[in-house]
Amino acid sequence: MAEALIVSISGVRGIVGESLDANAALRFSQALAANLEPGAVTVSGDSRPSGRWLMRLASAALESAGREVIDLGIVPTPTVGVAVRRLVAAGGLHVTASHNPSPYNGLKLFGPDGRVLPAGPAGRVRDAYLGDTRFLPAGWDGCGKVRSCHEALDWHVEAVVEAARQDGILNPIRQAGFRVLVDGNGGAGGPLALKLLGELGVETVPWHCEADGDFVHPPEPTGDNLASMASVVRGAGVDLGFVLDPDADRLAILDGEGNFPGEEYTLALAADGILARRPGPLVINLSTSRLSEMVAQSRGCACIRTPVGEAHVVDGMIAHRAVLGGEGNGGVMDPRVGWVRDPFVGMALVLGSLALS
């Protein structure tokens, strides 16, 4: 039996050409167009081979609904949030299946504030997709146009570097002489990681950093999946190994000997450094281990827990004016940069902590 299309407030996900076909992609994109405020919509994707096809379908559906489409190309998931805010867009549609294997792909939705669409608006899109709503196209003279935007990666780098400057870690990182292996695993994040680390003055050893969709090891950055990277990192003569998942919203860290302590350490290390210099609330979800909570307590800071799900963490960060938020899966969020799990923020904060230790 074919695997069913997964439809939720997070978007849709399925096997391309089976449960996720052209009709599903077109209709879901039409449902998004019908439920956003007026304005342009960004379209982007991670590096999976099926991504460009789905991006073209999404663009066609949005254009037919009268929307201007801004094509960001292949970019990391958190870059979408940065770009939506910078472009003052009505929202965004990102083609990705996150850490799932390559036969899968999906559509992820963003709101005008650059965060993944929260439950209320996302539920309306889902219900419109699943219901009997008939989406009427614009007239022949009312269709939208597509324009490309090539600046999104630069905007993202600028935001992370500026946050590092504000935190007083930019110069210490540049002076530390770090050497880091970056495992992009063929995903969308390799080029941005190399660009950012170059701006931070870090020497890099690229490992499959081309965004070509060729996943050389299983894409989810867990201990079992990263076992093959231990010898690679150890043999590279580096201080650290940074590993990204395909859509680059999670960061796994290996030490110079190739040891992987677990994804929980990404948020904990990032939080330890920033809360020491800029005390304030830390927001995490209920599935995150006590490690990050203990870090916050050691710095005299409140740690607030939310229900599981990125949208809930963002809600908590906004409500409590958090300095930092995240999840134990390697996701870190700095509100100065964006409201999306951001491994590039994590890289800067972890390097800053090490530079000042």
Q: What is the CATH number of the domain that holds 114?
A: 3.40.120.10
CA atoms within 13 A on the CB side of 127: 7
Calpha distance 163→337 (Å, rounded)? 7
Q: Is residue 186 located within the same domain as residue 309?
A: yes
Q: What is the pLDDT of residue 357?
A: 86
- The DSSP call for residue 137 is P
Q: Is residue 137 located within the same domain as residue 251?
A: no
Q: What is the pLDDT of residue 10?
A: 82
Last residue of a domain, one of 99, 116, 150: 150
Residue 1 within a domain: no
Residue 143 within a domain: yes
Q: Is residue 140 located within the same domain as residue 232?
A: no
Q: Can 298 be counted among the known catalytic residues?
A: no
Residue 115 within a domain: yes
Last residue of a domain, one of 150, 171, 205: 150
Three-state secondary-structure class, residue 229: helix
Q: Is residue 178 located within the same domain as residue 309?
A: yes
Residue 352 within a domain: yes
- Cβ atoms within 10 Å of 113's Cβ, excluding its own: 15
Last residue of a domain, one of 105, 126, 150: 150
Question: Tens-of-pLDDT digits for all 357 residues of the chain?
Answer: 457 899 988 889 999 999 999 999 999 999 999 999 999 999 999 999 999 999 999 999 999 999 999 999 999 999 999 999 999 999 999 999 998 888 999 999 999 999 999 989 999 999 999 998 899 888 888 999 999 999 999 999 999 999 999 999 999 999 999 999 999 999 999 999 999 999 999 999 999 999 999 999 999 988 999 999 999 999 999 999 999 999 999 999 999 999 999 999 999 999 998 999 999 999 999 999 999 999 999 999 999 999 998 999 999 999 999 999 999 999 999 999 999 999 999 999 999 999 998
Q: Is residue 34 located within the same domain as residue 116?
A: yes
Indicate the pTM of the whole model: 0.96
Q: Is residue 88 located within the same domain as residue 50?
A: yes
Q: Is residue 133 located within the same domain as residue 269?
A: no
Task: Name the domain count of the chain.
Answer: 2
Residue 305 within a domain: yes
Residues of the domain holding 241: 154-356
Q: Is residue 211 located within the same domain as residue 257?
A: yes
Residue 346 within a domain: yes
Q: Is residue 124 located within the same domain as residue 205?
A: no
Q: Is residue 28 located within the same domain as residue 176?
A: no
How does DSSP assign 70-105, residue by residue? EEEEE--HHHHHHHHHHHT-SEEEEE--TTS-TTEE
Q: Which residues of 157-173 are buried (b: 16+ CB within 10 A; e: fewer)?
A: bbbbbebbeebebbebb
- Which candidate in 10, 29, 98, 292 is catalytic? 98
Q: Is residue 263 located within the same domain as residue 193?
A: yes
Residue 39 within a domain: yes
- Give the largest Cα separation in the chain, rounded: 62
Q: Is residue 57 located within the same domain as residue 167?
A: no
Q: What is the pLDDT of residue 8?
A: 87
